[in-house]
Structure 1
Amino acid sequence: MKKFFLRIGIMIVILLSAYFIWSLTGRAKEKETGWSKLPEFKARFEYVEAGIDSGKGNIIGIQPYLTATSYSTAFNFEVSLRFYFEQLKRENKLTDKSIVVLPEYIGTWLVAANEKETIYKQETIEKAMTTMVRSNLFSFFYGYLKSPAKDKSKYAIFHLKAEKMAKQYQQVFSTLAKVYKCTIVAGSIALPDASINSKGEMQIKSGAPIYNTSVVFGNDGEILSPLIKKLFPIDDEQGFTAAADTELQPVFTTKAGKMAVLICADSWYPQAYNNLTNKADFIVVPSLGDKDSVWLAAWKGYNGFKAPVDVDTTDYKKISEGDAWLKYSMNKRAATANIHQGMNVFFTGSLWDMKPEGRVLILQNDSTTVLPASVGKGRIVNLYLQ
C-alpha cells in the first residue's frame, strides 16, 4: 500500500513539474518582444487640429492603433505609444501645458503581457484567454475562489496578474509623462480596488471588487491623486466590475487649468457632474466603443443603469447610437456643469477578433465636432484650449 501511494505521489510530482515547465516556456520576454518582433506600426496615421494656440495649453487625444502584439510585453506597449508621442514632439505640440488623453481600457490588456507567444497569434480573444488560463491555472483558480463578482471566470482572468499589470501600467505611463514632460490621462485599466500607497505607487487589494480605473500622471511622472473609478459600468462590465461612489469625482489641477475626467458611460449621467459643476475648465472622457456599424445603428437605450429623468426614452431605436452620444453625453451635460471645452477619445485597433473603430468628439464652446471612425490606422487630435 505504501508503495502504491509513493508511486501516486511521484506521478503527481512528475505531472506538476511537467505542467510548470510547459507553463513557463515559450513566453514573451521583456525587450525580446515575444518572438523577437516589434509591434507592427500602421504607417498611416491621421493628425487633426482644432482651435488656435492661445498659450493656455492643449488637449491631445491619442488613438494608437494597437494589436495583440502591442501587449506581448510592457516594452512593446511602451514602444507602440512612443511612436505617437515622438510625432508630437517632432512637431513641437507637447508642452508642460499639454494634456494627453488615451482611450478607455488601454491598460487592461496588459493582462496578456509575458504570456505564451501562441496567444498573440490566436484568431479570437476567447481562444487567447483560454490559453492564458491554462498556463496560469493556480493563479486563475485562486482568483476564482476569491471572486466577489457574478462572472467569476472573467474576474479571475483580470485578477490573476493584477499586481503585475498595475506595475507595468504605472511604469509605462510614468516614463512617458516624465520623458515628454506632459500630463497624461492614461485611459483606464481594470484592477481590484486600486489605490496609491505612501511611496506614490499603485497597489491592488487581492480579492476586492474590480473597478475600471483611470490614472492621471503629472509631467514629473508622478500620479496625481486620487484615482478615478468608473461610476456607471455598462451591462458587459457589470459581471466582473463594480460601480464606484458617485461622490468621489475629483477635479485635477494642471498647468492648463482645472480638469475633470469621466470614464466613458459616466459622461451620460447627471450625477457624474455633481462634483464638477463650476469647478472644472475642461473635461476629458476616455472611451472604448465598438465597430463603427454600432455607432451608426439604432440606439438601444441606456446600458447598465436606468435612464436619467431628463432622457426622452422614445428616442430608443429611433435615433442612432452616435446621435445619442451627442444628445445625452458630454456634449449636453458638460455645459450644464459650466464646462465648455473637452474631448472624448475612443479606442481603435485590432486585438484578436475585437476591432474597435474609434471616433473622437471635440467640445469647443458648447459645440461638438464628431470625427469619423479611425479604421485601420492611428490618430492624433490636438485641441487648443481657449
Structure 2
Amino acid sequence: MKLKHYLILASGSAVITWFMWSHAGRHYTPPRPETALDVIETVELDTPCSRNVVAIQPHMKPEDYRSEDHFYEKLNAYFSVALNAGLFRKNTTVLLPEYLGVWLVIAGEKRLVSETSDLNTGMTVMALTNFFSFLRHWFLFNPENQNEAVLFRMKASQMAHIYSSVFRKLAKKYRITIVAGSIILPDPAVFRNEITLHLTGELLNCAFIFYPDGSIDPRIVKKSFPVADEQKFMAACPVSDLPVFDLGIGKTVVMICADSWYPETYAEAERKNAQIILVPSYAQGNGKMQQPWEGYDGYHPPDDVDRNHVLSISESEAWKKYALPGRFPKNAVLGVNVFLRGDFWNLGSDGRTLIVYKENLIEVQQSERAGIWNICF
C-alpha cells in the first residue's frame, strides 16, 4: 500500500511540475521590433505611373511571431515606413513573401521555443509543452505521420486567426490591397470573411488576398509544386486551380515560389489573360544565391532545362533563367518576386528581389536584410 501511495504522490508531483514548466515563459514582452530596413527604392517603369506594386522584403525573427500583437507591430513598422514615403495610392497592391505566416505556429509558446538556436529543439519543446494536445492531434489528425504535420494542425486555428486578423487590420488601416505572403493550413476556405479550416484535410502552402475594406477574397492561392521537404507533409494543388484576381493593378496571378519555375503555371496564367504575376518566395540557407544550383527540387525538370546547368551556374542565375525572368509571358506586363529574409533558428535565408517589365529584367538595389521596392507603372 505504501508503494502505491508513493507512486500516486510521485505521479501527481510529476504532473504538477510538468504543468508549471509548460506554462512558464509563455507571457513576456520582447524588445521593440527592428525593421532592419536597408533599401527603399522607387522604380518608375512608365509615365504616368497610375498603378504600383509595393514589394516588402521583411526581416523577421522568431520573437516576431510570439503573439498577434508582436506580429502586427513588426509588419506595421514596414507599412508605416511605406506610408510616410508616399508609396500608398488608390490602386496600390502590397506583395509579401512566402512563409511569412508559417512561423505563427510558435505563437503563444514558451520563450525557449523562439530563443533556441535549433528549430528541431524548438519543435520538440512545443510538443512537450503541449503534450496532451499533441497526442490527441497525432492520433486523430495525422494522415501524413509527420511531427511537423501534427504541430501545424494543432496550431492551425490560432495561426489562421492571427494571420487574418493582422492583415485585415493592415489592409483597412492603409486602404490597400495585400497579397499576404503564405501560410500552411489544413484545407482552408473563406466563409463570412473568416478563414475556416478542416483539420482532417490536406495541409497546403497557401496565400490570401486582403482588400482595403478588410475583406478576404474567397479564392485562395494554393501551391502546385511543393518542394521535396514540403511534400513530406503538404499536398499539391492542381495548376488549373490558379485563380486570377481583378485588382487595381490589373488581372493578377500569384505563383507561390517554386510554382514560378514551371511552364505549366505560366500557360495557365496566359490562358486566363493575366497581366501581372506576383511571386512570394523563401530561399532557405544563408548565402544560398551564391551557391551552385542543385537543380529542380521535388519534380522532374521541364524539357527546356539544360541539365548541364546543374552545379555549373549559381542559384541566383538559375532563378533568372528558369523562374520569373526566364519564363515571363510575352503578353504580360509586370512580374515581381520578393523573398522572406530573417534569422529563423538554424535555417538561414537568402533571396534577390526580381522585377520584370514587358520581358525585361529591371536592375534594382538589393538588401541582405529588409527592403521596400515601389514598382510604379
TM-score range, shorter chain: over 0.9
Are 1:170 and 2:169 matched, yes or no? no
Q: CA deviation at 1:162?
A: 0.5
SS at match of 1:226: coil
**Distance of 2:214 and 2:93 partners within structure 1:** 13
Aligned match of 2:33: 39
**1:273 pairs with 260, 266, 269, which one?**
266
Amino acid at match of 2:202: P
Q: Which amino acid aligns with 1:27?
A: R
Question: How far did 1:139 drift?
Answer: 2.2
The equivalent residue for 1:350 is: 343
In 1, the alpha carbon distance for the partners of 2:366 and 2:285 equals: 9
Shift of 1:74: 1.3
Structure 2: gaps of 5 or more residues: none
SS of equivalent to 1:132? helix
Matched with 2:56 is 62
Q: Percent identity among equivalent residues?
A: 34
Q: Match for residue 130 of structure 1?
A: 124
Alignment of 1:1-386 (within 5 A): 12-28=11-27, 34-42=28-36, 44-51=37-44, 52=46, 54-145=48-139, 146-149=141-144, 152-197=146-191, 199-277=192-270, 279-291=273-285, 293-336=287-330, 338-369=331-362, 371=364, 374-375=367-368, 377-385=369-377
Distance 2:288 2:365 in 1: 13
> Do the aligned partners of 2:282 and 2:350 also contact (CA within 8 Å) in 1?
no
- Aligned to 2:224, the other structure's residue is in SS state coil
AA aligned opposite 1:54: P
CA-to-aligned-CA distance 1:215-272 (integer Å, 9 cap, x gap): 1111111111211110000012111111112210000011221111000000111121
The 4+ residue runs of structure 1 with deviation greater than 4 A are 3-14, 370-373
In structure 2, what is the Cα distance between the partners aligned to 1:53 and 1:171? Answer: 36
Q: Which moved more, 1:184-193 or 1:275-284?
A: 275-284
Taking the aligned partners of 1:327 and 1:55, their CA distance within structure 2 comes to: 28
Counterpart contact for 1:99–1:183, Cα < 8 Å: yes
Tell me by how many angstroms 1:35 deviates: 3.2
More moved, 91-100 vs 47-56: 47-56
In structure 1, C-alpha distance between the alignment counterparts of 2:12 and 2:197, rounded to whole Å: 33
What's the offset of the Cα at 1:292?
A: 5.4
Distance 1:334 1:219 in 2: 29
CA distance in 1 between counterparts of 2:30 and 2:344 reads 19
SS in 2 for 1:275: helix
Greater mean alpha carbon deviation, residues 263-272 or residues 318-327: 318-327
Residue 129 of structure 2 aligns to which amino acid in structure 1?
A: S
Moved more, 289-298 or 79-88: 289-298
Q: Is the 8 A contact 1:359 1:371 kept in 2?
A: no
Q: d(CA) in 1 for partners of 2:231 and 2:268? A: 24
Alignment deviations for residues 328-349 of structure 1 (CA, whole Å, 9 cap, x no partner): 111132315x213110001111
Query: Displacement, 1:312?
Result: 2.0
Could you give the per-residue CA deviations for residues 52-75 of structure 1, whole angstroms, max 9, x where no partner exists?
463431111101111111111111
Partners of 1:353 and 1:195 lie apart in 2 by 32
Per the TM alignment, residue 371 of structure 1 is displaced from its structure 2 partner at its CA by 4.6
In 2: Cα distance, 1:47 partner to 1:15 partner = 54
TM-score (norm 2): 0.93
Offset at residue 142 of structure 1 (A) = 2.6
Letter in 1 for 2:342: G
* 2:147 aligned counterpart, secondary structure: helix
Moved more, 5-14 or 273-282: 5-14
Identify the range of structure 1 (178-187 vs 140-149) with the bigger mean alpha-carbon deviation: 140-149
How far apart in 2 are the matches of 1:154 and 1:202?
21
Q: Tell me the amino acid that sits aligned with residue 280 of structure 2.
A: P
TM-score normalised by structure 1 residue count: 0.91
Please give the secondary structure, in 2, of the residue aligned with 1:172: helix
